[in-house]
Structure 1
Amino acid sequence: MSSLSELSPDSGTNAERMLLRELAHQIEGELVSVIELLSEAAGRCEGAEARAILTSVQDRLESHVCLHHALQMPQFATTIDLASYLQQLCRSISRSRLEYEGIALSLLLQPLKVSSERCWLLGMIVFELITASARHLSLDGAGAIRLEVWGTANSVMCCIIDNGATAEGRPGLDRSIVDMLVARLNGTMDIRFGPDGTRTVVGIPRRA
């Protein structure tokens, strides 16, 4: 396994990170094993309907593997394009969940160079916020989510908008996770509920 010593010192010890990475690899390996079993079962299945169901489950699990991989912590400290990372992440989120619930996800992303560590942490915030939007949009059976990311001189701004119903009676966002991630990035978060949906804006410094 490659060294993690180049990662920022406040992101946990190397041993902790190596353990988390190893656990992530084990989980991904288990998912891949299940996918292989489904593929074999579909190949042996004689009924067209049953084979189609098995193939559909296999495709969805493969999407979850891609999502799981996209959310893994970075192995090295480097600078990457935030827009490209979020495009890949959002594609995985859409394929693993949103498409099955009739939820459209649109993106407006400005190319921005940020550290791999901050990119990963912001990606987890985006994942949590999109998932929260999907939870209450699914009550109506369809909906739309929009992700916008842009940069200022010193900050990265991330806005997630959905067209769900008003806040009353909707499944809520688990603020403890998102608040922890935002605090880790020394950022801010503002959530506005309205008759046309929810608008969440997260701002983080470009550099630690």
Structure 2
Amino acid sequence: MTQLAFALLCATAAISLRAGIDLFAAGAGPFALGYPAVLVATLFARWPAGMLCGALSLAHTWYFMLPPIHSWLLKRPEDLPRLAVLTFAYLILILIADLFRRAVRRAAAERDREIAERDLFLEEFDHRVTNNFALVAALLDLQRRRSASEETAAALGSALARVQSIARAHRHLYRGNAGPGDVDMASYLSELCTALSDALFLQGAIVLECASDHVTLPRDRAVSIGLIVNELVTNAAKHAFTGRDSGRISVRFATAPRGWTLSVADDGRGTSPELLTQGRAGGLGQRLTESFARQAGGTLRAESGPDGTRVTVELAG
């Protein structure tokens, strides 16, 4: 029934267009409009629809276009061979269109099969990478717990936090509404801040707040931004509230006119301009933060005073 309806629709469209042309050029190209009608009917509704559309177009041309009009008789002897050639041309067109349609369907089926195989491979790859991240994190955590040196344990803890930040970005590649290879920054940063709050024991008096616009970024930029947040929040938790039992750290990722802005601020005791440019105690964290900012395609700016410290990263769109 669908094929019949579509064939009638194509034939009706061709006949209506023929009637419109006859108002300005009566009898011009009597067979021309049948070809596209038969082609469309065959491509979209298979060869039976093409055959029916061709038969209707042929009957219309015979009865309404060839003299004597409104008669099945043929006045000119050359009209019968013309109708025979037209019928043969329709059959060839239907054959070619149906073969093309089948080839396209086979190609689409092959593409779907390859996509299914690729998705299965990606799932397996994701599973293996996730396991590898978990293994590395477990080894770092085990070594950190066994370390007798507080300095070594702190360094291993920082390395563990960096690995976990990358692992979270990887997990966000395979879930949510972001496209392939993209990370939803709102959910990613929210999960990252929750993990940092737990890992740094920011409970009760010291609060870590996180807010982000719903933005999707490529994986590499998201990982770099996550590592920046990891370094800055860890740095603030360790140094901003010395001698205090309370405080607030806020992380904000927002859309800007020329891209995005990441800011990490605290209301701690502040620090000197020299330490802001060289890193607190000239440590590795500051150099890593600047390196991650360059990888993310951003520029880093720091401000500090008695009311706290704010580090802003301007990211170009």
TM-score, normalised relative to structure 2: 0.44
**Matched AA of 1:136:** H
User: In structure 2, what is the equivalent of residue 86 of structure 1?
Assistant: 189
Task: Give the whole-Å Cα distance in 1 for the aligned partners of 2:265 and 2:183.
Answer: 25
Contact 1:81 1:113 in 2 (8 A): yes
What is the rounded CA distance, in whole Å, between the counterparts of 1:128 and 1:69 in structure 2?
12
Aligned position for 2:215: 112
Cα distance in 2 for residues equivalent to 1:67 and 1:87: 16
**Please, which moves more after superposition, 167-176 or 89-98?**
167-176
1:2-47 Cα deviation digits (max 9, x unpaired): 77xxxxxxxxxxxxxx9x988744323437889xxxxxxxxxxxxx
Partner of residue 137, structure 2: 28
Partner of 1:175: 286
Task: Tell me which structure has the larger Cα radius of gyration.
Answer: 2
Alignment of 1:154-169 (within 5 A): 154-168=258-272
- Aligned mate of 2:225, from 95, 99, 122: 122
Give, in whole Å, the separation in 2 of the partners of 1:113 and 1:153.
16
Distance 1:177 1:101 in 2: 29
Structure that is richer in helix per residue: 2
CA distance 1:31–1:100, change in 2 (3 Å): farther
Distance 2:234 2:204 in 1: 12
In structure 2, the gaps of 5 or more residues are 1-120, 123-127, 144-158, 174-179
Secondary structure in structure 1 of the residue aligned to 2:188? helix
Q: Which of these residues, 157, 162, 170, is aligned with residue 74 of structure 1? A: 170
Partner SS for 1:74? helix
Aligned to 2:245: 141
- Please give the secondary structure, in 2, of the residue aligned with 1:148: strand
Task: Compare relative contact order (CA 8 Å, sep 6+) and give the higher one, 1 or 2.
Answer: 1
Q: Distance in 2 between matches of 1:101 and 1:27?
A: 31
* Alpha-carbon distance between aligned partners in 2 of 1:200 and 1:131, rounded to the nearest angstrom: 13
> How big is each residue's C-alpha offset from its partner over 1:39-88, in whole Å with a ceiling of 9 and x where there is no partner?
xxxxxxxxxxxxxxxxxxxxxxxxx9898534336386611211110000
Give the partner amino acid of 1:193: S
Give the corresponding residue for 2:298.
Answer: 187
8 Å contact kept, 2:213–2:255: yes
State the Cα distance separating 1:148 from its structure 2 match: 1.1
For 1:13, the equivalent position in structure 2 comes to none
Q: Are the equivalent residues in 2 in contact too, given 1:67–1:96 (CA < 8 A)?
A: no
| CA distance in 2 between partners of 1:102 and 1:189 (Å) | 29
Aligned-residue identity in percent: 20
Q: What are the ranges of 5 or more consecutive residues in structure 1 without an aligned counterpart?
A: 4-17, 35-63
Q: The residue matched to 2:202 in structure 1 has which SS?
A: helix
Amino acid at match of 1:99: L
Cα separation, 2, equivalents of 1:33 and 1:133: 25
Aligned residue type for 1:162 = D
Root mean square deviation of aligned Cα: 3.4
Aligned residue-pair number: 161
Residue aligning to 1:45: none
SS in 1 for 2:170: coil
Q: Aligned partners of 2:208, 2:248: CA distance in 1, in Å?
A: 6
* Structure 1 residues 165 and 200, CA gap change in structure 2 (3 angstroms): same
Report which of the two has the higher share of strand: 1
Give the secondary-structure state (helix, strand or coil) at the position aligned to 1:146.
strand
Structure 1 runs (4+) greater than 6 angstroms displaced: 20-23, 31-34, 64-67
CA distance 1:27–1:101, change in 2 (3 Å) = farther
Return the alpha-carbon distance in structure 2 between the equivalents of residues 154 and 89 of structure 1: 25
Farther off after superposition, 186-195 or 145-154:
145-154
